[in-house]
Amino acid sequence: MKQNKVTTKLGGDFASATGAIEYGFTNDYMFRAVLQENKKVLKALICALLHLRPDEVSSVVVTNPIVLGEQIDAKEFVLDINISLNNHSVINLEMQVENQLNWQDRSLSYLCRSYDNLCKGDDYSNVAPAIHIGFLDFTPFKDAPEEFYATYKLLNIKNHHLYSSKFALSVVNLSKINLATEEDKVWEIDYWARLFKATTWEEIKMIAKQNESIMEASKTLYNMHCEETIRAMARARQDATRRENMYNKVIADLKVDNEKLSSDNTKLSDDIAKLAAANSEKEQALAKIEQLLAEKEAEIARLKAQSGQD
């Protein structure tokens, strides 16, 4: 795959940045790096997603920080961001642009782990609310109306009564920004989505003009780009994703081939069964003919013997 040529000059400033962005926000390492590095940006994003005023957020803390630029063991290469909001709620953010066909199970697993946050001996009433928010570049449900920003909660299936407000899962569909509602636009979630999807510095600058927090996020992204160790990790993550996609494609192709072979084998088995049935019918017919011939021969012999006696 041909890579975009990066024209960003390391050591310059954001205002002079031009051309393609090699590692944008859809690179989950860069996504984490920017949000972990700049708490102001993280707070602004959380406020937009949860419809909160800035004065309603007293603290936002990343509880699973990594050392930016430091090598990450392959077994720990999970880059979702765990956040403590106001020392009360647990928020989990994840950038997932490739459809690995496991989003529902994966997101539920992350959400359940976040919700299971009681310490030994604590009362269940003290469990902190947990919210998982995924940024996807694909539609997670093929059998449901498409949405840009959707939130799911536990509801009674008959009367839609809310079971609990402490357990929620939200999805920002980056491929459906055009479906943003008026409410989404009021909270400028569509601007954040456009920022995350941007592929050139010129595009980012146009988006950043509209929002101070997005401008802050854009500058932080540029600064992260200027750090070679962080770029190296973003590159490693991109390469790992490509390898994973290649492996998934090979597995998917093998699965298709296996299903075809299985189908062919089933058809062959059916054909063999039909041939066996037809052969059995022929053998039964032949046995009946042989029986009739034997009976005829016996009758002829009897008649000959009777004629000789006469």
User: In the structure encoding, which two tokens stand for residue 299, read together?
Assistant: 């009758």
Mean pLDDT score, 79-101: 89
Tell me the per-residue pLDDT of 117-126, one tens digit each, with 9 for 90 and over.
777 777 788 8
Distance CA 43, CA 47 (A): 6
Mean pLDDT score, 8-18: 73
Q: Which pTM does this prediction carry?
A: 0.75
- Please check whether residue 58 lies inside any domain of the structure: yes
Residue 8 confidence (pLDDT) above 50 = no
Mean pLDDT score, 207-219: 93
Confidence of residue 62 (pLDDT cuts 50, 70, 90): very high
The whole-number pLDDT of residue 2 equals 41
Distance CA 1, CA 5 (A): 12
User: In the structure encoding, which two tokens stand for residue 129, read together?
Assistant: 């609310």
- Please check whether residue 56 lies inside any domain of the structure: yes
Residue 77 confidence (pLDDT) above 90 = no
As for how many domains the chain has, the answer is: 1
**How many Cβ atoms are within 10 Å of 118's Cβ, its own excluded?**
13
The whole-number pLDDT of residue 263 equals 77
Residue 17 confidence (pLDDT) above 60 = yes
User: In the structure encoding, which two tokens stand for residue 92, read together?
Assistant: 């989990």
Distance CA 57, CA 186 (A): 19
Residue 73 confidence (pLDDT) above 70 = no
Higher pLDDT, residue 101 or 227: 227
The whole-number pLDDT of residue 6 equals 41
Distance CA 179, CA 214 (A): 21
DSSP state of 6: B
Higher pLDDT, residue 256 or 295: 295
User: In the structure encoding, which two tokens stand for residue 244, read together?
Assistant: 């994973």
Identify residue 52 by its one-letter amino acid code.
Answer: L
Mean pLDDT score, 9-38: 88
Residue 95 confidence (pLDDT) above 50 = yes
- Please check whether residue 72 lies inside any domain of the structure: yes
Tell me the per-residue pLDDT of 220-279, one tens digit each, with 9 for 90 and over.
999 999 999 999 998 888 887 666 666 556 666 667 767 777 777 888 888 888 888 888
Distance CA 90, CA 114 (A): 6
Residue 25 confidence (pLDDT) above 80 = yes
Candidate from 224-228, 294-298, 304-308 with smallest mean pLDDT: 304-308
Residue 179 confidence (pLDDT) above 60 = yes
The whole-number pLDDT of residue 252 equals 60
How is the chain split among helix, strand and coil, in percent rounded to 5?
A: 55, 15, 30
DSSP state of 144: S
Distance CA 94, CA 113 (A): 14
Mean pLDDT score, 107-119: 83
- Please check whether residue 111 lies inside any domain of the structure: yes
Residue 3 confidence (pLDDT) above 50 = no
- Please check whether residue 174 lies inside any domain of the structure: yes
User: In the structure encoding, which two tokens stand for residue 76, read together?
Assistant: 């720990």
88: Cβ contacts below 8 Å, ≥ 6 apart: 128, 129
User: In the structure encoding, which two tokens stand for residue 309, read together?
Assistant: 């006696």
- Please check whether residue 147 lies inside any domain of the structure: yes
- Please check whether residue 96 lies inside any domain of the structure: yes
Domain that holds residue 140: 14-226
Mean pLDDT, the chain, integer: 85
The whole-number pLDDT of residue 115 equals 85
Question: Which residues are registered as beta bridge partners of 151?
Answer: 170
- Please check whether residue 252 lies inside any domain of the structure: no
3-state secondary structure of 80: coil
The whole-number pLDDT of residue 271 equals 81
160: Cβ contacts below 8 Å, ≥ 6 apart: none
